[in-house]
Structure 1
């Protein structure tokens, strides 16, 4: 994967973000539209993208590979809080803000923008591995993540299954079942799901990109 491809895709996504900001400033997009669009992405398009890509997979990785991804995700969210705590101490963060800084270091926005970025850079095959990683993320952020962000405060921690089992978590679990069971549905259903999922972010053919922009042949 060339750095040129990654930079180009990230630049395209940021241009789209600035376009959205500009449309908001000139009042073409308002707060109501923005809130409804966020709900559409979180509750509809991202779940469709996750499930649709799992249904369209034709080459399956071994169970050991899937297990390695799980272990990497678990190790990541066990080690990042430690790193966050060390960094916060180096920066001499006030005690009352310690939990916030550790939380920011540990949990990034891999749900809302993580899936689109991975798909746009690495293609459809990366969505499943992102799904596995996202499952561990969701389980972590709504359990001990709540304790981390409230570190040093006396706030009451309320961990509920409703928070853990979000639409993203449900879609990740369903995608994992589909992948492990090698489930295939009629093309019209799979194509409909992937079409709705593609609303999440604009995509283009990686092969076309390479043919049109890469000076080397492979």
Structure 2
């Protein structure tokens, strides 16, 4: 039986190590799911109302997530790391381009109403990399992988609130008109600032770093509570949804990661550059789907249902993906 390093200086049995990793992933996913349940209960008990949901959503998108990005990019500069960053970014753009093609073709394969198309397309393109991706990647790949995840997420930050938001808004009550301003948002600015700090090996003062870290750490719980509170406005039957939502969830959680994995493996990628894109692609539907649908008056019911269903099923699918990848 082989042994491998646990990442904390202890050699552990391979089978026992895999069990620990899978249990860690399951625990992390369950924590996030229970946070959704808290948000759901708070809405049902009228602790949270529409105004609170709107303010929490704005706080996550404009403050806590950018803080998390800046903290994740706090690494001393090295040429090797810069080259790896470029490769990570290139892979991310290629995979997002592939996802856009799949999303464009998807309504021709699965019948969707006009109102549903934008939300389902967004759900296929954008996974929960910001809210769930960071804790899960840290659980399966370690804290050092968060730097690469921040780089990998640049296309997400650049596209999710611009072209992605436009996909949802065009089917909603409040359309979004694309301009250069729609491509600039707090997450994009945070990525640019954080990467400049990396290039200059700028280390934030300890107090400022701690403030940003504590603020960034609130991203996951707040976003899950927002999702739960949005679900709390819906009848339970609506949360369960239609078969189309389950089909989209299946594609999001298993089909797309499998395709991405096969393509990367066939292209010769191994290690982090193979595992990270597959793990990110295997995340559930982005929490932004619900938030943006709410903001632009689109199909918030379908969006929240997709987030709920995919988050529920990822309790099983993410550990399964981790096992297949051997991490």
What is the distance in 2 between the residues matched to 1:39 and 1:94? 29
Partner in structure 2 of residue 213 of structure 1: none
Q: Tell me which moved more, 83-92 or 138-147.
A: 138-147
Unaligned runs of 5+ in 1: 203-218
Partner in structure 2 of residue 186 of structure 1: 205
Q: CA RMSD in A?
A: 3.1
Partner in structure 1 of residue 82 of structure 2: 63
TM-score in terms of structure 2 length: 0.52
Please state how far the C-alpha of 1:171 moved relative to its aligned partner: 0.6
SS of 2:73 mapped into structure 1: helix
TM-score in terms of structure 1 length: 0.74
SS of 1:184 mapped into structure 2: coil
What is the distance in 1 between the residues matched to 2:67 and 2:169? 33
Please state how far the C-alpha of 1:165 moved relative to its aligned partner: 0.6
Matches within 5 A, 1:1-218: 2-55=21-74, 57=75, 62-93=81-112, 101-119=120-138, 122-141=141-160, 144-145=163-164, 158-201=177-220
Please state how far the C-alpha of 1:77 moved relative to its aligned partner: 1.2
What is the distance in 2 between the residues matched to 1:78 and 1:183? 33
Partner in structure 1 of residue 7 of structure 2: none
What is the distance in 2 between the residues matched to 1:62 and 1:32? 43
What is the distance in 1 between the residues matched to 2:115 and 2:48? 37
Residue by residue, what CA displacement relative to the aligned partner does 1:86-111 show, whole Å, maximum 9, x if unpaired?
44322255688656543432233434
The answer (yes or no) to whether the contact 1:46–1:115 under 8 Å persists in 2 is no
Q: Tell me which moved more, 32-41 or 80-89.
A: 80-89
Label 1:32 to 1:119 Cα distance change in 2 as closer, same or farther (>3 A): farther
What is the distance in 1 between the residues matched to 2:158 and 2:87? 18
Unaligned runs of 5+ in 2: 1-17, 222-327
Please state how far the C-alpha of 1:18 moved relative to its aligned partner: 0.6
Please state how far the C-alpha of 1:130 moved relative to its aligned partner: 2.6
